[in-house]
């Protein structure tokens, strides 16, 4: 796991966009894994700016959303399919039919989850997965206690997650109780995982998954097993790390050929 501590969200967005631009340059038909929430927004803003300014091309790319609420009507402004369209995919030239989301409205959710896994596999798997992390250490909607071998499936949200997400709805009662999410086993199959965390409210979760034990109580800690996981932090989210100075030194002296 590589930990990179940067001054703020603008620098995080640029460095993450560098990795994605490099990937698309090597592999125009790359498969991207897209997350929602506030953490990835600087990445999406930077990628959209590069598309408009420099012609960064997504025309052959595919994208898979990390998760989706269960029970929201199609087109609901807070469905993750709609959020990803609004915040990113409508701002670049990726084909709408190449943007895939879990189906939280399916009559047969287990079958829909299996179909999602099969489509991901058929397209060669995810080349780069963007992640945020919850205050309780969840990634995707893999809440504490999630199996490290889990695949795309329906999950119940804990109340802390529902409270954290209530800011996107009119009131707490509107926040769904269930989601469909890629599993931890699914996430681990991405070739490169790029996790972003910002703000002091994420500092404990960052400390737990970066420097704590690998444990089901902190789902993100499974990334310690990933062969290519990059963690991009601002100073506030890195404030509880014991080895913060070492991470800074390592990145400042990183050989250029290593890339991100």
The catalytic residues are: 67, 136, 138, 143
| Four-point Cα dihedral 213, 214, 219, 225, nearest 10 | 130
CA dihedral sign of residues 169, 171, 172, 175: negative
Pairing of strands 192-197, 128-131: parallel
Kindly calculate the radius of gyration of the chain based on its CA atoms and give it in whole angstroms. Answer: 17
Nearest residue to 63 (alpha-carbon basis) of 30, 23, 22, 14: 30
Q: Which are the contacts of 17, defined by CB distance < 8 A and separation ≥ 6? A: 43, 46, 47, 50
Beta strands in 103-244 (DSSP E): 128-131, 153-156, 178-181, 192-197, 229-234
Residue given tokens 């609004």 in the structure block? 86
**How many residues belong to the chain?**
260
């Amino acid at each position: 796991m590589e930990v990179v501590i940067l001054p703020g969200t603008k620098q995080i967005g640029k460095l993450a966009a560098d990795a994605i631009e490099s990937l698309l340059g090597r592999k125009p038909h790359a498969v991207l894994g897209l997350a929602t929430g506030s953490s990835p927004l600087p990445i999406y803003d930077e990628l959209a700016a590069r598309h408009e300014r420099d012609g960064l091309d997504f025309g052959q790319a595919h994208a898979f959303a990390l998760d989706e609420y269960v029970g929201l009507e199609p087109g609901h402004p807070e469905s993750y399919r709609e959020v990803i369209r609004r915040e990113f995919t409508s701002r670049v030239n990726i084909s709408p039919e190449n943007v895939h989301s879990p189906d939280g409205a399916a009559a047969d959710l287990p079958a829909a989850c299996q179909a999602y896994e099969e489509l991901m596999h058929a397209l060669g798997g995810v080349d780069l997965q963007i992640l945020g992390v919850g205050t309780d250490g969840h990634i995707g909607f893999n809440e504490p206690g999630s199996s490290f071998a889990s695949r795309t499936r329906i999950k119940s949200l804990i109340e802390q997650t529902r409270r954290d997400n209530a800011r996107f709805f009119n009131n707490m009662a509107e926040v769904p109780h269930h989601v469909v999410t890629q599993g931890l086993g699914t996430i681990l199959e991405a070739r490169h995982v790029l996790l972003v965390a910002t703000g002091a409210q994420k500092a404990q979760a960052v400390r737990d998954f970066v420097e704590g034990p690998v444990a089901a109580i902190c789902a993100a800690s499974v990334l310690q097993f990933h062969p290519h996981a990059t963690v991009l932090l601002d100073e506030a989210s890195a404030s509880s790390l014991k080895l913060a100075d070492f991470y800074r030194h390592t990145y400042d002296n990183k050989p250029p050929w290593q890339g991100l």
